[in-house]
Structure 1
Amino acid sequence: MALISFVVPAYKVEGYLRECLDSILGQPFTDLEVIGVDDCSPDSSGEIFAEYAARDPRVTVVALPENVGLGEARNVGLDRARGEYVWFVDSDDWLAPDTLPTVARRLRETNPELLIVDHVRSYWDNTVLRSAMPEVFPTPPGATTFSLRERPELIGLLHTAWNKVVRRDFLVELGLRFGPGWYEDVSFTYPLLLAAERITVLDLVCVNYRQRRSGAITRTQGDRHFEVFPHWQRVFEFMDEWAPQMDDLRPLLFRRMIWHYLTVLGNGNRIGTKLRPAFFARMVDDYRRWLPAGGYPVPAGPEGVKHRLVAQGRWRTFSALRTAYQFRGRLRDGAGAGKRAVVPRLRRAARAGRDGALRTYYQVQLRLPIDQSLALYAAYWYRGYACNPAAIHAKAAELAPHIRGVFVVRRDRVSSLPPGVAYVVAGSAAYYRALARAKWLVNNVNFPDFVVKRRGSVHIQTHHGTPVKVMGLDQQRYPTGAVGMEFPKLLRRIDRWDFSVSSNTFSTQMWDRAYPANYTALNTGYPRNDRLANATAEEVAAIRAGLGFGPEDRVVLYAPTHREHLPGYRPPFDAAEFVEALGPQTRLMMRSHYFHDRDVAGTVSVAGRVRDMSAHPSVEDLYLAADVLITDYSSAMFDYGTLDRPIVIYAPDWDAYRLARGVYFDVTAEPPGAVARSFPDLLDLFRGGAVDNDAAAKARAHFRARFCVLDDGRAAERVVRRTLLGEPG
């Protein structure tokens, strides 16, 4: 029997579930089990659970046929738990590293019925706030046990399930279950505190309580917040039936209940204006119903005023008081904010010359109707016709000919456009007009910061790779690789997205975490890979011939990625030695990352056998021509995986890269093929045939099953039908 059973319910948490599970399973403590409960999640949470269960016998998964909510999902996990203790961990939170040994030691030292651990609130902007633990327990209680009557200040700790480790037999004997609906922690926590005779508190931060930018119930308005009332009713009914001897604690619990109601009502993100009077009326009812006979300690100051207004049922006075407080706060903060708001306008007004005039023109165009037949496309900061936007543009011309597709391109790249592609030059009047008036805006990066998201417009973010390195807000943890990043501006940009296109469910999980906003994720596969999936043998032969490669040539493509933290870095790679070592039929194509603006990859022709293909307009041509891909941490491996050809990971700086830049998974442990950590090792892989032996083929098959299944040749069609034609997903 394990010491601790972790119950982890999951619903729409694909962006966070891996971090949660890793934080549990990666602890220097193994006497545990994890019960993963897939609460019929519509995203890939179930897939993640299955992946972990397949590789770690400590993980058991329960897949529910219908969504039952967090409380009942926890109950399901509790019924399957077999550990001495049970810990309900929310699937978007994570445990602090190396804390479980200390938790286990405290459990074994004190043999409690209930252990309460400390936590921090971890916000999406990388700020961290301590809990109330230091205020509730200025002097840590240490390795002792006590009851709630002995330490009533416990009522002031956060009433959640995830900061509590409970003896399973005690919980079962008590018959305590999670109730339905939101705020289910209330009717679990307080009965637990009332019933437990042996409680211990560990003043160690064990849980990171994630404060999500979007998707949390605390940021969801609606009448479901009224579900807090029956949970508090369960608390007092439990006290009446099971703990009448604890009636002296009723005044403190009553005060906590009113505090909680006021907290919910005071959050404008929860209770909308129309529902506020009804919520207040329910507060008044509960106040009068559960008021202790001898009263209770009313807080001092403004908080106490609110309590007295609830007691008197004076909604209008309560509402007016709240408005006054809010107005005072705006007066205090508004002066500075007002000045800040004026600055951009003054700067725009002060702009001289053509750029200022065009921005003014853009503002004028924003006042005109949206062009319901215009789709504006862009790729790689206007470098040309490429990537997912180009593939969507081409498919839209076929499926939605009534929609006029226009590409944005830099003036120096106009000549690279295919014949017949309508375009506007970046910075021109036509460009600003299209930005302001287009119904659809499609890009694989972000449009400039000044672009306004108009009501009725549709912004489609296609991205341009499957992330190995961390992206977006996750880069806050790796400042070396985030030089120049302005995260507030990034958040404003992603708030414009309506759709986010994913090449695979793994990408969707990472985008959800890295780019938290209220867009719709499209698990369609990458449109740019349709060409790879649909390519015929004849097309491949023609491309190879066009590039000067014969049928007998073994063509290798080397495509390393960019190192933001190491400008100018090139991995150690001797092209001449490579082709000489592999024999006369080897042909090497080298392609630099686009951030180098197609600089020469650092090589020259070796008797025509080595070619710099950085300036070639179509990377898809190079993929189709290549027999083998060598890369490091580039998304090229995911695209090339569509072809089911050998891939070699050449990662000479892996240890430094993952520490400085941050990665989402270990490409050396879960590679798409063979792995080399040095240039001599790379040569040995090719000489010895390990590039495509059984082990490499098995790794590639596993990789393709995880990352390439959506790239079936119809991704662009799915995107067009869903976003431009409005057909159901």
Structure 2
Amino acid sequence: MNAPKVSVVVPVFNAETHLDRLVESLLRQSLPAGDFEAVFVDDGSTDGTAARLDALAATHPHLHVLHIPNSGWPSRPRNLGMAQARGEYVFFADDDDWFADEALERLYGYARANDADIAVGKMAGHGRNVARELFRTDQPDATLENTPLIDSLTCHKLFRSGFLAEHDLRFPEGGRRRLEDHAFVTRAYLLSKRTSVLAHYTCYHHVRRRDGGGVTATRLVPADYFARLRETLDIVDAHVGPGPLRDRLHRRWLRNEMVNRLRGKRLLDAPSEWLDQVAAEVRAIIRDRFAPGVAAGLPPLPRIVAELAGQGRVADLRRLAEWEVGVRARARLRGYDLTGSTLTVSVAAHLRSGRDPIVDAGRDGRDRLVLPVDGLDPELLDVTGALAQARLDLVARRQETGDEVALPVAVEARRVTDTAGATHVVHRGSVAVDFAALNSGRTEGAWTLRARIQHSGWTQDARLPLRVFCPADGAAPQVTDQRPDEEPGRWVRVRAAVRRLLRPATGRPGSTDR
């Protein structure tokens, strides 16, 4: 029997109630059943999972099951599944996620065409964050230097089996070992001769279960978690010398696994004793492991959080988090035009905390964050340069599948003073979307539109009132304007001033000035 092109390895534990979607997606794959296999590794399930998997394997010859005593973590099942896999390439999936119909065929073809050791397919997140910037465009030869590869450290990727064997790449085992995928994927990136990013097709749907289940869903133990993080930093340091690249790679963990745990709702939801432990661990790593350039390269707000953590100012971190949960993006549709399959949207958006601006425009021409924390270096609060780097995207999301496409808006920033004397920085611009080509022409269904602002360390979305429906792939869209007859009263304090700036262009279908 010929070896399959792809082996999908799936660690499974008590998945009886949520396994269907993954299985159904595997059975729908455009890659013929004879060209791929799935290896389910049952990690000592205690429900009906084992019997369900055995029944599937009996019916579908390309689905295999391995039963093992419970290990308590995905690492050992993945390693055993990898050892049993016969495919030219291996993909690691989770039992509560699913594949798009053409995912395996497209990923395999892309990997072979580019002679890639690793192929990273675009992911859609359902209740959880996934990398976004990485998937703006296809990258046949992506590196840690030329793309934000380091933002995608889950193991849900295609790996060449010979590459894994050559470097003895395995997931670290030993109990409930956090960040096992970070250690595996980081080392793989650093050893790969070619990594290819497929961004034009959403391959994998990554899910946060509503019941909060999954063996990795429990609250982390700070000392153990950050010990594992240090081990991953060791992998980076063993391959990358001191300098800008190492700083940029280290910054990924400072931002995602450290600073983001000390911000907003995540901090406020944490027990005080646990938070104190996390803050102490973060402070120690900043002091012991990071060069000055690591924190210095963060956007303004995360850099301030890192500074407070480094100084052990936990009370100020809590005060800042209480303020930050009120920061929201506000967006206004200035107008739109539909010509054939092309929808042109003009939008304006800004960030604010409640009704207050987050930035103060000083008389000296410098813009500074307005934060409820004293004793900060004025240079940390200065966001004059950051405002020039702010981004505004129009994000189209397909409701049926979760496919998401971000389209950059040519943006200009203006300062508007409201009737109360507060100054808001408003970002405005327009973008044309060809729905015949959007998402590589896979447009059938309903689409929602959002404005996404990236500014000074925030990434915030605001829904726009347009809804788009495409009756078939590539068909001309139908647009519905869902704005109410009267504008909600939440804009009362800034409406008069902002309306002057956001006045839509006249003479375009759908343009209003409410």
- State whether TM-score is above 0.5: yes
Q: After the TM superposition, which residues 559-574 of structure 1 pair with which residues of structure 2 at under 5 Å, given as runs?
A: none
Deviation of 1:265 after TM superposition, in Å, equals: 4.3
| Residues paired across the two proteins, number | 324
2:42–2:50 Cα contact (<8 Å) kept: yes
* Cα deviation, residue 118, structure 1: 0.5
Query: What SS is found at the alignment partner of 1:62?
Result: strand
Flag the 1:60–1:270 CA change in 2: closer, same or farther, 3 A. Answer: farther
1:303 and 1:6 map into 2 onto residues whose CA distance is 37
Matched, 1:58 2:75: no
Q: Is the 8 A contact 2:40 2:64 kept in 1?
A: yes
Pairing 1:258–2:257 present: no
Do the aligned partners of residues 173 and 56 (structure 1) sit closer, same or farther apart at CA in structure 2, a change above 3 Å counting?
same
TM-superposed CA distance for 1:225, in Å, is: 5.9
1:643 paired residue number? none
Q: What is the CA–CA distance in structure 2 between the aligned matches of 1:269 and 1:168, rounded to whole Å?
A: 44
2:235 to 238, 250, 266: 238
Relative to its length, the structure with more strand (as a share) is 2
Alignment-derived partner of residue 106 in structure 1:
110
Question: Aligned equivalents of 2:353 and 2:122: distance in 1?
Answer: 37
Measured after TM superposition, the shift of residue 189 of structure 1 is 1.9
What code does the residue aligned with 1:165 have?
L
Q: Which amino acid aligns with 2:246?
A: R
- 1:140 Cα deviation (Å)? 3.0
CA distance in 1, matches of 2:260, 2:216: 13
> What is the rounded CA distance, in whole Å, between the counterparts of 1:171 and 1:251 in structure 2?
27
Deviation sequence 1:529-565 (CA, Å, 0-9, x none): xxxxxxxxxxxxxxxxxxxxxxxxxxxxxxxxxxxxx
Q: Does 1:160 align with 2:158?
A: no
Aligned to 1:306: 305
Partner of 2:168: 175
> How far does the alpha carbon of each residue in 1:147-195 deviate from its partner, in whole angstroms, 9 at most, with x for none?
323x242223x32111x11112212222222224233222122222122
1:246, distance to aligned residue in structure 2 (A): 8.3
2:37 aligned to 33, 40, 43, which one?
33
Cα distance change on mapping 1:34 and 1:215 into 2, 3 Å: same
Q: Is the 8 A contact 1:92 1:210 kept in 2?
A: yes
Give the Å deviation of 1:40: 0.7
Q: Which moved more, 1:94-103 or 1:292-301?
A: 292-301
Change (3 A) 1:294 1:303: closer
Q: Residue 73 in 1 paired to residue 67 in 2?
A: no
1:184 aligns with 2:184: no
Residue 103 to residue 275, structure 1, CA distance change in 2 (3 Å)? same
**Shift of the alpha carbon at 1:315?**
2.3
Alignment deviations for residues 502-537 of structure 1 (CA, whole Å, 9 cap, x no partner): xxxxxxxxxxxxxxxxxxxxxxxxxxxxxxxxxxxx
Give 1:280-429 correspondences, 5 Å limit: 280-292=279-291, 295=294, 297-326=296-325, 332=354
Measure the CA separation in 1 of the matches of 2:215 and 2:304: 25
Where do 1:249-648 residues align within 5 Å? 249-260=245-256, 261-266=258-263, 267=266, 271-292=270-291, 295=294, 297-326=296-325, 332=354
In structure 2, distance between residues paired with 1:225 and 1:56:
43
Structure 2 partner of 1:198: 194
User: 1:252, 1:296 within 8 Å by CA — same for their partners in 2?
Assistant: no
Q: Cα gap change, 1:328/1:83 in structure 2, threshold over 3 Å: closer, same or farther?
A: closer
Matches of 2:5 and 2:39 in 1, distance apart? 14
What letter corresponds to residue 11 of structure 2 in structure 1? P
**1:137–1:208 distance in 2 versus 1, CA, 3 Å:** closer
CA 1:138–1:205 in 2, change beyond 3 Å: closer, same or farther?
closer
Contact 2:118 2:158 in 1 (8 A): yes
Closer, same or farther in 2 for the Cα pair 1:63/1:319, shift >3 Å? Answer: same
Of 7, 10, 27 in structure 1, the residue corresponding to residue 9 of structure 2 is 7
**Residues 248 and 299 from structure 1, CA distance in 2 versus in 1: closer, same or farther, beyond 3 angstroms?**
closer
Offset from partner CA, 1:294-330 (integer Å, 9 cap, x none): 5554322322211222233322322222233346789
Aligned to 1:213: 210
Task: State how far apart, in whole Å, the 2-side matches of 1:63 and 1:255 are.
Answer: 40
Match of 1:44 in 2: 48
Q: Distance in 2 between matches of 1:327 and 1:294?
A: 30
Q: Could you tell me how far apart the structure 1 residues matched to 2:129 and 2:320 are?
A: 30
Query: What is the CA–CA distance in structure 2 between the aligned matches of 1:116 and 1:245, rounded to whole Å?
Result: 25
2:134 maps to which residue? 136
Q: CA RMSD in A?
A: 3.0
Residues of 2 paired with 1:226 and 1:96: CA distance?
Answer: 38
Residues 122 and 198, structure 2, Cα contact 8 Å, conserved in 1: yes
Question: How far 1:247 moved relative to its partner?
Answer: 6.1
Aligned partner of 1:10: which letter?
V
1:332 positional shift = 3.5
- Which string of whole-angstrom CA distances, capped at 9 and with x for unpartnered residues, describes residues 53-94 of structure 1? 111221221111223311221111112112111110001000
Which residue, out of 59, 79, 86, partners 1:82?
86
1:18 match: 20
Change (3 A) 1:207 1:269: farther
Q: CA deviation at 1:199?
A: 0.6
Task: Give the drift of 1:244.
Answer: 3.8
Q: Tell me whether 283-292 or 218-227 shows the greater mean CA deviation.
A: 218-227
User: Is 2:114 aligned against 1:145?
Assistant: no
Tell me by how many angstroms 1:33 deviates: 1.4
Cα separation, 2, equivalents of 1:225 and 1:49: 36
Separation in 2, partners of 1:176, 1:230: 20
> Secondary structure, in 3 states, of the residue corresponding to 1:202?
strand
1:222 to 1:105, Cα distance in 2 relative to 1, 3 A:
closer
Distance 2:236 2:194 in 1: 18
**Larger RCO of the pair (alpha carbons < 8 Å, separation 6+):** 2
TM-score (norm 2): 0.57
Closer/same/farther in 2, CA of residues 259 and 216 from structure 1, 3 Å limit: farther
Q: Tell me which moved more, 254-263 or 295-304.
A: 295-304
State how far apart, in whole Å, the 2-side matches of 1:48 and 1:247 are: 52
Q: Which runs of 5+ in 2 are unaligned?
A: 329-351, 356-398, 402-514
CA distance in 1: counterparts of 2:268 and 2:6, whole angstroms:
36
Alignment-mate amino acid for residue 134 of structure 2: V
The CA deviation at 1:293 is 6.5
Distance in 2, matches of 1:270 and 1:218, equals 21
**Percent same amino acid among aligned pairs?**
26
SS of the residue corresponding to residue 189 of structure 2 reads helix
Q: 1:213 to 1:295 in 2, by over 3 A?
A: closer
Deviation at 1:227, TM superposition (A): 4.1
1: CA distance, partners of 2:268 / 2:318: 16
Residue 443 of structure 2 is matched in structure 1 by: none
SS in 1 for 2:7: strand
Residues 1:218 and 1:255: Cα distance change in structure 2 (over 3 Å): farther
CA distance in 2, matches of 1:274, 1:325: 21
Q: Cα distance 1:235–1:18, how it changes in 2: closer, same or farther (>3 A)?
A: same
Separation in 1, partners of 2:289, 2:220 = 23
Q: How does 1:706-721 map to 2 (within 5 A)?
A: none
1:703-728 superposed Cα distances (whole Å, 9 cap, x missing partner): xxxxxxxxxxxxxxxxxxxxxxxxxx
Superposed CA deviations along residues 201-243 of structure 1, whole A, max 9, x for unmatched, are 00120111112212246995634465432332222222333x1
Question: Which letter does structure 2 place at the counterpart of 1:301?
Answer: P
Q: Deviations over 1:254-273 (max 9, x none)?
A: 11111122334442597433
Counterpart residue type for residue 227 of structure 2 = P
Residue matched to 2:417: none
Structure 2 equivalent of residue 656 of structure 1 = none
| Equivalent residue number for residue 452 of structure 2 | none
Structure 1 equivalent of residue 365 of structure 2:
none
